């Protein structure tokens, strides 16, 4: 027995002794303040003490112990009736437990309570007859033990499913632990704890790999790859990584290793290299045909798509707008009707009448005053939303210019520039401010959808050049001799290094990170402007910004 159990037993003997040194009331006070549950039963199986902690742990009501202490059978019967001992006749169960208690045999066991608690139960006979039982709440400890067991099972499961051979070697390169996987160190035997690395891989392989493991024991992280024979007999590639295992004082006491079959990865890398070579060849071929790309319908399809979307949106916007206007009229009529009804009711119904009270209750529940004000605001917000949709539709139409037809026609460059800016800067509004400095430029005979594509490319590039909040300035004007119309897109971004300025319009040349640019935008823009008989000039200062100027002749060039 523990020290606490011995102390409880001594108190129990004191409680049963007729001439004890302690008063019974004192004993009860001591028992009630113990951190464990205690029950004292005399030789007649009458409960003499059942302290407060025991009642809490076993969920016994105080009524069982008033006005006097019960017989032990009453407690057994109470538990049996509430199903503590499982199925069966409660009377029989209580009698069986009483007979077992008469034997007064020492016992210890753990009991799971219905509320989830776990109790350690210890019983000891007393020299003068009767016995003492002690209940200790071990719920937290058992929960921790069960969680630890669950974690251990999970760890074993994880280790068993690691995609490779995971092992731990001590400082003598002797295997201490190895998961249940095929050996992929490149050796000749299945790895088992207790074997040395040489035993596992054989004398032929050991000299080739020993150095990597020794370096790991010296504190380095190492890795090697080598050909090996796979378990199915086929040739493959093996990769083994090793890292030192250190004691709390920093001393290397062993190493962890993981061996993986990387055959598929090696084959994939080789296939990728071949594919990259093919892509480079294809890119080179595309670079020689980029002028043909300009002649395709790709640019026109952008305008056709924008025009189609604008048309499809415009139809529902029209009838929604009309319905909203009609709805506003209906709502006004209904509110006026409600006012008339209220006035009429108040004129004919006496104050406090049932009809008037019912109306006022319904009016309050509907919150008519709030609805009257809020519905006007809702209608105004809805009309504002429709106006915004109309502006977006107009931008799409201006951008597509008559459905994106690749036909020469008179068009305003400023209209196309505005539409392109509105579309390009949708996701940049929070960090880019747009300034417009337009001159009095005349309409120009051009291919509007293709020029819009040029403006779109330049504005998008300008936005990408601005990392922090910055400014994009759009300018238009006419040359001094009035022979040309020009459009400028200037940004306050990072600028372009001088060594890259001469390559900006080369196909597939880009200064953007891999995956963020194709290098075709400026090349295609150059071809479109060249088709119009114009040119693109650029000036840039690193750290200050870049300006692109598109110059177009006012007279349509004669086809060659």
* Average pLDDT score, the chain: 80
In this structure, the strands spanning 432-437 and 470-478 are: parallel
Residue 406's pLDDT band (cuts 50, 70, 90): low
If asked whether residues 509 and 429 sit together in one domain, one would say yes
If asked whether residues 82 and 213 sit together in one domain, one would say no
3-state secondary structure of 537: strand
In a domain, 22, yes or no: yes
102-111, 175-184, 344-353, 421-430: segment of lowest average pLDDT = 175-184
Domain final residue, candidates 400, 432, 448:
400
If asked whether residues 422 and 530 sit together in one domain, one would say yes
Domain final residue, candidates 105, 139, 173:
139
* CB proximity list for 66: less than 8 A, separation 6 or greater: none
pLDDT at 516 over 60: no
The residues facing 261 across adjacent strands are: 238
CATH number at residue 84: 3.30.450.20
**Across 443-469, average pLDDT:** 87
If asked whether residues 379 and 445 sit together in one domain, one would say no
Structural domain containing residue 10 = 3-139
- Cα separation, 223 vs 225, in Å, equals 7
φ and ψ at 517, to 5 degrees? Answer: -165, 145
**Across 429-452, average pLDDT:** 87
pLDDT at 195 over 90: no
In a domain, 280, yes or no: no
Task: Return the pLDDT at 295.
Answer: 43
Residue 294's pLDDT band (cuts 50, 70, 90): very low
For 336, the token pair is 């006026």
- Cα separation, 17 vs 4, in Å, equals 20
In a domain, 311, yes or no: yes
15-19, 183-187, 448-452: segment of lowest average pLDDT = 183-187
- Cα separation, 503 vs 510, in Å, equals 9
Task: Return the pLDDT at 18.
Answer: 56
φ and ψ at 240, to 5 degrees? Answer: -125, 125
Residue 421's pLDDT band (cuts 50, 70, 90): confident
3-state secondary structure of 399: helix
Residue 177's pLDDT band (cuts 50, 70, 90): confident
C-alpha torsion sign, points 393, 397, 403, 404:
negative
In a domain, 270, yes or no: no
In a domain, 524, yes or no: yes
Angle (CA) 293-296-297 rounded to 5° is 135
If asked whether residues 308 and 362 sit together in one domain, one would say yes
pLDDT at 328 over 80: no
- Cα separation, 7 vs 1, in Å, equals 10
If asked whether residues 65 and 19 sit together in one domain, one would say yes
If asked whether residues 130 and 8 sit together in one domain, one would say yes
Nearest to 502 by CA among 549, 559, 558, 540: 540
If asked whether residues 379 and 414 sit together in one domain, one would say no
Between 340 and 374, name the one with better pLDDT.
340
Stated pTM of the model: 0.37
In a domain, 260, yes or no: yes
Cβ distance 227 to 261 under 8 Å?
no
- What does the DSSP assignment read for 520-532? -HHHHHHHHHHHT
In a domain, 151, yes or no: no
Residue percentage of the chain with pLDDT more than 90: 18
Between 320 and 392, name the one with better pLDDT.
320
For 35, which DSSP code?
A: S
- Cα separation, 417 vs 485, in Å, equals 13
215-224, 375-384, 480-489, 528-537: segment of lowest average pLDDT = 375-384
318-322, 347-351, 494-498: segment of lowest average pLDDT = 318-322
φ and ψ at 150, to 5 degrees? Answer: -65, -40
pLDDT in tens, 87-138: 999 999 999 999 988 888 888 888 888 888 899 999 888 877 888 899 999 8
For 25, the token pair is 């009331």
In a domain, 273, yes or no: no
- Cα separation, 451 vs 529, in Å, equals 8
Residue percentage of the chain with pLDDT more than 70: 79
If asked whether residues 236 and 319 sit together in one domain, one would say no
- Cα separation, 362 vs 435, in Å, equals 55
If asked whether residues 440 and 425 sit together in one domain, one would say yes
If asked whether residues 430 and 540 sit together in one domain, one would say yes
If asked whether residues 428 and 394 sit together in one domain, one would say no
Please state the domain count of the chain. Answer: 4
Element spanning 271, H or E: helix 263-288
- Cα separation, 290 vs 182, in Å, equals 54
């Amino acid at each position: 027995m523990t020290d606490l159990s011995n102390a409880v037993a001594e108190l129990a003997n004191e409680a049963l002794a007729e001439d004890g040194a302690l008063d019974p009331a004192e004993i009860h006070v001591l028992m009630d303040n113990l951190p464990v549950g205690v029950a004292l039963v005399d030789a007649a199986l009458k409960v003499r003490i059942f302290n407060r902690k025991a009642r809490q742990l076993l969920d016994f009501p105080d009524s069982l112990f008033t006005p006097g202490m019960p017989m032990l059978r009453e407690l057994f019967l109470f538990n049996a009736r509430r199903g503590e001992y499982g199925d069966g006749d409660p009377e029989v169960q209580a009698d069986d437990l009483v007979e077992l208690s008469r034997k007064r045999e020492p016992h210890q066991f753990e009991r799971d309570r219905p509320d989830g608690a776990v109790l350690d139960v210890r019983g000891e006979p007393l020299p003068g007859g009767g016995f003492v039982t002690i209940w200790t709440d071990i719920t937290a400890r058992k929960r921790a033990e069960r969680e630890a067991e669950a974690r251990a099972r999970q760890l074993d499961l994880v280790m068993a499913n690691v995609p490779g051979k995971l092992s731990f070697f001590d400082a003598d390169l002797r295997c201490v632990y190895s998961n249940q996987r095929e050996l992929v160190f490149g050796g000749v035997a299945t790895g088992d704890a207790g074997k040395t690395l040489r035993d596992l891989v054989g004398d032929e392989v050991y000299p080739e790999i020993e150095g990597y493991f020794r370096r790991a024991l010296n504190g380095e992280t190492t890795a090697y790859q080598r050909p090996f024979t796979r378990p199915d007999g086929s040739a493959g590639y093996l990769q083994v990584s090793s890292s030192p295992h250190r004691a709390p004082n920093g001393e290397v006491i062993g190493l962890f290793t993981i061996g993986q079959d990387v055959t598929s990865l090696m084959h994939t890398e080789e296939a990728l290299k071949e594919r990259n070579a093919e892509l480079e060849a294809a890119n080179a071929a595309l670079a020689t045909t980029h002028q043909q790309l300009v002649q395709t319908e790709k640019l026109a399809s952008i305008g056709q798509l924008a025009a189609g979307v604008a048309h499809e949106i415009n139809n529902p916007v029209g009838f929604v707008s009309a319905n909203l206007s009609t709805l506003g009229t209906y709502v006004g009529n209904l509110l006026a009707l409600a006012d008339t009804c209220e006035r009429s009711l108040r004129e004919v119904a006496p104050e406090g009448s049932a009809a008037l009270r019912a109306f006022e209750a319904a009016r309050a529940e509907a919150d008519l005053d709030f609805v009257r004000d809020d519905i006007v605001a809702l209608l105004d917000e809805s009309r504002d939303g429709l106006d915004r949709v109309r502006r977006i539709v107009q931008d799409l139409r201006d951008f597509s210019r008559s459905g994106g037809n690749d036909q020469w026609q008179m068009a305003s460059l400023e209209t196309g520039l505005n539409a392109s800016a509105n579309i390009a800067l949708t996701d940049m509004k929070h960090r880019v401010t747009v300034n417009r400095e337009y001159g009095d430029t005349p309409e120009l005979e051009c291919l509007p959808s293709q020029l819009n594509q040029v403006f779109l490319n330049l504005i998008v590039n300008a936005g990408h050049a601005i990392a922090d909040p910055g400014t994009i300035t759009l300018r238009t004007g006419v040359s001094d001799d009035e022979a040309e119309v020009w459009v400028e897109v200037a940004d306050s971004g990072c600028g372009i290094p001088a060594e890259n300025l001469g390559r900006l319009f080369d196909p597939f040349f880009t200064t953007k990170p891999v995956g963020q640019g194709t290098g075709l935008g400026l090349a295609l823009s150059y071809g479109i402007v060249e088709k119009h008989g114009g040119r693109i000039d650029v000036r840039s200062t690193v750290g200050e910004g870049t300006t692109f100027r598109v110059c177009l002749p006012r007279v349509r060039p004669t086809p060659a």
